[in-house]
Amino acid sequence: MVEPITAIAAALAIGISAIAAAIAEKEIGTAAVGAIAENEDLFVKGLIMTVLPETIVLFGFVIAYMILGA
Amino acid sequence: MLKPKKMCKVTVAGPRSIRDTAVSFFYGKGILHIDDYTKPDNGTVLDIGTPTERASELSEDLIKLRSIKKHLNVVKNNGGKVVSIDRPNQEEISAQIDQIDAQIVDSIDKIRAVNDSLSLLKAKEDIVAPISTLGLDWKVFTQYDSLSYMVGYLPKNVDLSRFKKELSSITDNVEMFHGEYMSRQVIALFVIKDKADETSALFSNNSFTPINLKCLEEFEGKSDNILKTIKDEYDHLTDEKKRLKSEMDALGEKYSSFIIDNEADFSRDIEVGEVPLRFAESTNAFVIEGWVPQDDFTEMESELRKKTDGKIYIRSRKAVEGAPVELKNPKGIKPFEFLIDLYSRPSYGEIDPTFFMFLTFPLFFGFMLGDLGYGLLTFALFFIIRTKVKVAEIKSVLSVLMFASFMTAVFGIVFGEFFGAEHIFGYHMTPILHRLHHPITLLNLAIGMGVAHVNMGLMIGFYNMKKAHGLKAAILEKASWMSLQVGGVLLALGNMTLGAAIMLVSAIMITLGEGLKGLFELPSIVANILSYSRLMAVGLASAILALVVNEMAGMAFSAGGIGLIVGTIILLAGHSIAIFLGFLSPFIHSMRLHYVEFFMKFYTGGGQKYMPFGRRD
C-alpha cells in the first residue's frame, strides 16, 4: 500500500494537469467550432488543434505513475 | 503504392477547326486533368476560349428541364440510356420541353385558381355556418328604413336571460334570435333605429363580436340552403384540385425518364461545350495545357493524332511538382486514403502515407480498445451496414472501422478480454498480457510503439527531404532527430560522456538545419514519444469501463428476482455505451497520433486532387 501523501501527490499530478489541459482545450475548441461553422474544411485542422493540449495530461499521467512507483 | 501515380505535363495545340474533335476525344478518354488558363496582364494573342453556341442553348433548356423536374417531383432514375453527344433531334427535344413546360404552367395556374376559390369559399362558410343556426331567411339581412340589426357572437359566460332583461329595459321594440355554433352563442338582433346606439353599447359591454355580412349580399333564401350550396361547390373544387394534381402526377410518371435522361445528357453536353472556358484560344488556334498519367500518354498521343489526321501539336514534359495527385493503392488499402484526404492530399513527389496508415491505424486502435467480444460484434455490425450504404465515403469509413474491429479482436485475445470478462461462456481465456495486472508493461509497450512510429516518420521525412532538398538537408533536419534520441538513450543508460556528446552534436545539426526554432523545439521529441502513452491510458480506461459494467450487472444478478431483468438491462445498455465510447475515443486518439506525431515528421500535403475532364464516377 502506498503512503497517503504519495497517493495525494499522484492525484495532484494528474488532476491539476487534467484541469490545465481542459482549460487549454476549452479555448481552442471554442475557436475551432467557430472556424468550422465558417468553413467545414477546417474540421480536421480544428480537431488536431483542439486535441494538442492532451499531451499535458499525459505528462501528468506519466508523472503520477512514477510517483506511485507501481 | 508508396508513390502517387506518375504524371506528365501535356500541351496540345491545333487549329480551331479541330477543337471540338479534340475536346470530345478528351472527354471520351477521361484522363486529361486540365490546368485552367488565366489570361496574363501583358499583351498576348491568347484569350480564354469561347464556349460552343450549343452549350448556351442547352443551358436554357436545362434550366427549363430542371424547373419541370422540380414541379413534377421527378426523382427516380430509370437507369438512364446514353444518347450520343451530337443528337440530331435536339430541336425536337427542345420543342417537347417547351410543350411540357406549357402544360405544367397551365396546370399550375389552374391549381392556383382553384386554391384561391377554395379559400374564399372557406371564408364564406365561416360566416354563413354560424348564422344558419338561427334558422332565418337570408333576405332579412337587408337595408331597412326604421330597423337596424346586429349579428355576431356573445361569449359563452353571458347569461342570456339577464341579457334579455337588460335589453327590455332599453326598448320593447326588439326581436332577438339566438343559436349555438362551435360552443359559442350566436345572436341576431333587430331593433328600431332610435335605440340602435344604446343597444350596441350594451352589446359591446358584453364583449360582443360582430360578424360582417357585407360581402355576402349575393346570397338568397334559407341560410341552410346557402350553406349547402357553398359546401357542394367546395367539394366540387376539391375534386377538381385532386384531378389536376393527379394529372401532374401522370405527367411526371410519363416524362420521368425523358426528364432524367435529358438532364444527364444536357449537363454532360454543357460540360463539354463549356470546357473551352478553361483553355486558351486565339482567332485561329487553341492551346490546352494539362496533366495525363505517364503510362497513358503514348497511347493517347497516337490516338489523338489519328483522330485529327495529324493536324495537331502534342508535347509532354516530365512532371516535377505541381502535378495533380492520384493516389494509387491496392483495393484493401484504398479506404485509408479517406483518412489521408481528411488531412490533406500528399503533394506530388512525396511519399503517400496511406500504406503506413493502413499498418498502424488499426494497430493503435486495437491496442486501445482490445476486446474480443467488442471486436467481433462491431466487425459484424459494420459489415452489415457496409452492404446497405451506397455513398463511397461512408463505405471507406466503414472499411477502416472493420480493420479497426479486427485488430480489436486480435488484441482482445492478447489481453484475454471478452466483453470485459476473462472467460467466454465458461471457457477461461489465458491472457498473454493482462492489462489491469501489468499496467507498466503496457505503458512500456505503448512508448515503444511511439518510438518506432515517430522514427518511422523521421525516416520517411529523410527520404522526402533527400529527394526534395538533397542529402545534406535530410541529415541536418531528419537524421539529427534520430541521433538525438540515441544520445538520450545512452545518457539514460549511464554513458554520460558519449550520450551528452551525441546529443550536443545532434542539437547543433538541428540548429543548422532548422534554425533557432529547431533548438527551441528539442524537447518536443520527448513530448511526441510520451504522447503515445495515451495508447495505454485510453486502453486501461476502456478495459475498466467494461469491467465496471460487468460488476454492476453481477451485483444485480446476485440479488435474483427483478434483479435478473435489471442486470440484463445494465449489461446491454452498459456495453452499448462502452462500445460507443470505445470507438469514438480510440478513433480520435489514433487519428491524432497519426496527424500530429507522425505526419509532422515528414508530411507536406496540399496536393491537388487529380480530376480528369470527363471522368464519370
Residue-wise pLDDT tens digits, B449-479: 999 999 999 999 999 899 888 899 999 889 9
Alpha carbon distances (Å) from B317 to B10, B286, B321, B326: 7, 19, 12, 18
Residue B82 has pLDDT above 50, yes or no: no
Q: Looking at the DSSP assignment, which residues form a beta bridge with residue B318?
A: B8
Do A51 and B588 lie within an 8 Å CB cutoff? yes
The pLDDT value recorded for residue B599 is 92
**pLDDT given at position B405:** 95
For the cut 50, the answer to whether the pLDDT of residue B394 exceeds it is yes
Note the pLDDT of residue B228. 86
Chosen from A36, A58, A67 to mutate, greatest number of chain B CBs within 10 A: A58
Q: What is the dihedral of CA B80, B83, B89, B90, to 10 degrees?
A: 80
Greater pLDDT, B531 or B140: B531
DSSP alpha helix (H) spans, A1-70: 4-38, 43-51, 54-68
Closest in A44, A52, A55 to B343, CB measured: A44
For residue A47, which residues of chain B lie inside 8 Å, CB to CB?
588, 591-592
Which CATH number among 1.10.760, 3.30.1460, 1.20.20, 4.10.280 corresponds to the domain A4-68?
A: 1.20.20
Contacts of B531 in chain A (CB under 8 A): 54-55, 58
Residue B308, SS3?
Answer: coil
Instruction: Residue B562: count other Cβ atoms within 10 Å of its Cβ.
Output: 9
Q: Which of B111-115, B141-145, B431-435 has the lowest mean pLDDT?
A: B141-145
Q: Does B436 touch chain A (CB under 8 A)?
A: no
Residues in contact with B395: Cβ distance below 8 Å, sequence separation at least 6, in sequence order = B335, B386, B389
Percent of chain B with pLDDT over 70: 96
Indicate the range of B36-45, B222-231, B411-420, B546-555 predicted with least confidence. Answer: B36-45
Average pLDDT, chain B: 86
With an 8 Å Cβ cutoff, is B596 touching chain A?
yes
Is residue B17 within a helix (H) or strand (E), and if so which, with residue range?
none
- Cell match 475532364: residue? B613
Task: Evaluate whether B31 touches B296 at the Cβ level (below 8 Å).
Answer: yes
| CA distance, residue A7 to nearest chain B CA (Å) | 17
Cα–Cα distance between A28 and A46 in angstroms, integer? 8
Residue B587 confidence (pLDDT) above 50: yes
Higher pLDDT, B167 or B300: B300
Confidence of residue B217 (pLDDT cuts 50, 70, 90): low
Predicted confidence at residue A70, as pLDDT, reads 54
Q: Are strands B280-281 and B285-293 parallel, antiparallel or unpaired?
A: antiparallel
User: Which chain A residues are closer than 8 Å to B450 by Cβ?
Assistant: none
Residue B84 burial (CB count, 10 A): 7
Q: How far is the C-alpha of B427 from the C-alpha of B602, rounded, in Å? A: 47
CATH code 3.30.70.2170 region(s) in chain B:
7-75+257-318
Indicate left, alpha or beta for A64 from its phi (over 0: left) and psi (-120 to 50: alpha).
alpha
- Considering only CA atoms, which of A51, A32, A25, A57 is closest in space to residue B594? A51
Chain B 17-76, residues with CB within 8 Å of chain A CB atoms: none
Interchain proximity B533–A54, CB inside 8 Å: no
Domain boundaries, chain A: 4-68
CA distance B327 to B610: 9
| pLDDT at residue number B215 | 65
Picking from B437, B525, B526, B534 by the largest number of A CB atoms within 10 A of its own CB, the best residue to mutate is B534
Higher pLDDT, B488 or B614: B488
Residue A42 Cα, gap to closest chain B Cα (Å): 9
What is the rounded distance in angstroms from the CA atom of residue B150 to the CA atom of residue B187? 8
Task: Look at residue B617 in the predicted model and tell me its pLDDT.
Answer: 58
Residues in B touching A51 (Cβ below 8 Å): 588-589, 592, 596
Q: Which whole number is the average pLDDT over B579-588? A: 87
Q: Are B134 and B170 in contact (CB under 8 A)?
A: no
How far is the C-alpha of A44 from the C-alpha of B344, rounded, in Å? 9
Q: Is the pLDDT of residue B79 over 70?
A: no
Q: Among B58, B420, B479, which Cα is nearest to B274's?
A: B58
Q: Collapsing DSSP states into helix, strand and coil, what is residue B159? A: coil
Grade residue B156 by pLDDT with cuts at 50, 70 and 90: confident
User: Percent of chain B beyond pLDDT 90?
Assistant: 21
Cell numbers 454492476 correspond to: B552
Residues of B in contact with A60 (CB under 8 A): none
E-strand ranges in B102-242 read 147-154, 174-181, 184-192, 209-210
Cβ distance B405 to B375 under 8 Å? yes
pLDDT tens across B265-296, in order?
888 888 888 888 888 888 888 899 899 998 88
pLDDT, residue B357, reads 93
Q: Which whole number is the average pLDDT over B117-131?
A: 86
CA–CA–CA angle B274, B280, B286 (5° rounding)? 90
Interface probe for B, chosen from A14, A17, A43, A48 (most Cβ of B below 10 Å), is: A48
In the predicted model, what is the mean pLDDT of residues A54-67? 83
Fold of the domain built from segment(s) B7-75+257-318: Alpha-Beta Plaits (3.30.70)
In the prediction, which pLDDT does B392 show?
Answer: 85
CATH number of B122-231: 3.30.70.2750
Give the residue range(s) of CATH 3.30.70.2750 domains in chain B.
122-231
What is the three-class DSSP state of B494?
coil
Model-level ipTM above the cut of 0.95: no
Residue B176 sits at φ, ψ, to 5 deg, of -125, 135
Instruction: Say if the Cβ atoms of A44 and B595 lie within 8 Å.
Output: yes
Residue B254 — very low, low, confident or very high, per pLDDT cuts 50/70/90?
Answer: confident
Q: What is the mean pLDDT of chain A?
A: 87
Taking only the tens place, the pLDDT of each residue in B306-325 is 888 888 898 888 877 788 99
CA Rg, chain A, in Å? 16
Determine whether B401 is exposed, middle or buried from the number of CB atoms within 10 Å of its CB (0-12, 13-18, 19+).
Answer: buried
pLDDT band at B358 (very low <50, low <70, confident <90, very high): very high
Highest mean pLDDT among B186-195, B395-404, B419-428: B395-404
SS3 B116: helix
**Which of the given ranges, B435-439, B580-584, B590-594, has the highest pLDDT on average?**
B590-594
Distance of CA B377 to the CA centre of its chain: 27
Alpha helix segments (H runs only) across B416-515:
439-469, 471-474, 480-493, 496-514
